[in-house]
Amino acid sequence: MMTTRLNMIAQESAKILLETKSVLINAAQPFTYTSGKQGPVYVDIRRLISFPEARAKLMDFAAEILKDIPCDFVAGGETAGIPYAAFIAERLNKPMLYVRKKPKGFGRNAQIEGAFEHDGEKVILIEDLQTDGGSKKVFVDALREAGAQIEHAFVVFHYGNFPQSYQNMKDWGLTLHALTTWKDVIAVARGEKYFDTATLSSVEDFLSDPVAWQERRARSVS
């Protein structure tokens, strides 16, 4: 696909995520993460499923990006990847699977749900977002152990600021496809004046070095 088209998709997708509040920015009152640490950004791609028009446009973009990749199955990772895998499978007219984080422990003890029965089938893994990519490994391993060929993964949103993300994809033999990144979101937010310059500068500082940002924040409020 032409780079200019991919850039347009990235900017349009960033705008949609901002407008649906699927990505949030607040430097004045930072978000508290599961780890207990704080930061000025929060990503909630699950929220997108409640916006049918926005969701449809993004999934059309996803299908456009993925349509020329050889694919026998589209697989969603538990749980946030499942709805997006369903939307994309429908558009590509492909069978769908979903992959559990671990076997369910009863019945067939299945980790992969769906009719996956033949070695060598080409599978694209679908998730909602990627930070460093570490959570993908359990799904990739399960699919490969079942005999799948998996060389491509797709996410709606890729943070794009973790070097380990790119290294993990290389180590696991995966090409990552994403609609948009924080770089695109900030560019759109700045161009459309969604936030003031100080707020966006603070976000850029955080994304380039979260630890240093948190230390400065702690000193400023102490």
CB 125 within 8 A of CB 70: no
Contacts of 220 (CB under 8 A, 6+ apart): none
What digits encode the pLDDT tens for the residues 150-179? 999 999 999 999 999 999 999 999 999 999
What digits encode the pLDDT tens for the residues 62-80? 999 999 999 999 999 999 9
pLDDT at position 171 is 96
pLDDT at position 107 is 45
pTM: 0.94
Compute the distance between CA of residue 41 and CA of residue 22 in angstroms, rounded to an integer.
11
Architecture of domain 3-208: 3-Layer(aba) Sandwich (3.40)
Compute the distance between CA of residue 51 and CA of residue 56 in angstroms, rounded to an integer.
8
What digits encode the pLDDT tens for the residues 165-217? 999 999 999 999 999 999 999 999 999 999 999 999 999 999 999 989 988 88
Handedness of CA 4, 54, 31, 77 (dihedral sign): negative
Give domain limits for the chain.
3-208
pLDDT band at 84 (very low <50, low <70, confident <90, very high): very high
How many residues appear in the chain?
A: 222
